Structure 1
Amino acid sequence: MEYFIADLHFFHEQLLQSEHFSPRPYDDLQDEHQGLQQAWNARVTENDTVYHLGDLAFLNKIKPAKKGYQALYELLLSLNGQIVLIKGNHDTRDLFKFLQNQHSTLSDGRPKFKFHDVGMIVKANHHQFFLTHYPLILGPTASSVNLHGHIHHSQVAIAENINVGIDSSDLEYLNSDERPTWGTPLNLSEIEMILERKRHQLSE
């Protein structure tokens, strides 16, 4: 199975009660990290792939830098599946190089981490999903969809731009009984549901 998520912002304490972003449902980083780990692993298995669309962590306050990289690496090892990382504005190439140099592999021999600086395309369900951190304006399209993060609680008023960030307002297109636990990576069925309902709302 393939899953999609963005803007985890591990170690970013200021986001917990930020006035500029949607408040997160935790009071401290330890509880948030534990909650994100539980939400992730309740859905994702070792055989699955999760695409993380940028802003994995905020490590600026941890010195030296490698101490922060090591702490994040240990946290990521607790998350099931292969993680495909697309670079966000808070991610650095040094971090990606550090993770790559650990040479971590899954039990089936796949690398634990894969990396993309700008973005990539995943084809599924008769769609081309353009995976980026920043919203990508594609113009009129019948089969292409941009999955992105970056703008947190905001949304692009185009149906084919879907914000898969953990505090995205696009998640509100899912009813409360359909919406997974906060911090859970989205599956393709949920993304298709968001797409259909966003198209319907914006066409009214």
Structure 2
Amino acid sequence: MTEHWCISDYHFYHKKLRLKYRLQWDSDDEMNEVMIQNTNELVKRNDFLYFIGDFTWRNHGIKILERLNGQIFFIYGNHDKKTIINKLKNYKNIIWHGEQKGIKIYGQKIFLNHYLMVSWNCCHWGSWHIHGHHHNPVPEEFYTGKVMNVGVDINDYKPINFGQVKDYMKTRPDNWNLIRKKYKEK
């Protein structure tokens, strides 16, 4: 069965970020290999991988895409340079790329954007928001509703599957602007 996975903020080859947040690794290559291995142990070739921004700091890091399992939806982050974005079309495992995307998994609407948002498409009808960008847990007072950070730094450097997202969203309060009943026109 095809599974759906989410992850953000790999930051392959980003030495300054590694020295600030990822001190357990002695080199960029070591960090990169662990994250590639963690991803491929979970994500199978036919699975969908929703990558939510900040893939690599160096242009040659884009070649890591060839090594990752899954059919990838690639959301741009603030560290994804134009030179990298322009090369995405050359990778057959990239099935979509852009700044944000609304998707539906097993009937659940989900809005993907690299940045944490207060309001997103269909949030008032119960859609969820999945983001990255923050390398530490976001303080609860900044979260409104069904929101989840799938950044590698707070998720053991592994992708999160849809079942884990669903379980987490059950613990979240309803969206602040949720409409409980659809209004019928007279």
**Structure 1 CA distance, aligned partners of 2:108 and 2:37?**
30
In structure 1, the partner of 2:66 is 77
Contact 1:129 1:146 in 2 (8 A): yes
- Which amino acid is the alignment partner of residue 81 of structure 2? T
Same amino acid, percent of matched pairs: 26
Alpha-carbon distance, 1:126 to partner: 3.8
Distance 1:86 1:40, change over 3 A: same
**Structure 2 CA distance, aligned partners of 1:82 and 1:131?**
16
CA RMSD of aligned residues (A): 2.1
Matched residue of 1:7: which SS? Answer: coil
Instruction: Give CA-to-partner distance per residue, 1:44-75, whole Å, 9 cap, x none.
Output: 1111111111111112xxxxxxxx3xx32332
Distance 1:143 1:125, change over 3 A: farther
Q: Quick check: 1:44 aligned with 2:33?
A: no
**Which among 151, 155, 164 is matched to residue 190 of structure 1?**
164
Alpha-carbon distance, 1:127 to partner: 2.1
Distance 1:24 1:142, change over 3 A: farther
Distance 1:24 1:116, change over 3 A: farther
Query: What's the TM-score, normalizing by structure 2?
Result: 0.80
Q: Could you list the structure 1 runs, at least 4 aligned residues long, displaced by more than 6 angstroms after superposition.
A: none
Q: Quick check: 1:136 aligned with 2:138?
A: no
**Structure 2 CA distance, aligned partners of 1:189 and 1:24?**
30
**1:3-42 mapped onto 2 (5 Å cutoff):** 3-18=5-20, 22-23=21-22, 25-42=24-41
Provide structure 2 residue ranges, at least 5 long, that are not aligned to the other structure. Answer: 175-186
In structure 1, the partner of 2:105 is 124
- Which moved further from structure 2: 32-41 or 150-159? 150-159
Matched residue of 1:16: which SS? Answer: helix
Size of the aligned set, in residue pairs, is 167
Contact 2:5 2:49 in 1 (8 A): yes
In structure 2, the partner of 1:161 is 147
Matched residue of 1:9: which SS? Answer: coil
Contact 1:53 1:149 in 2 (8 A): yes
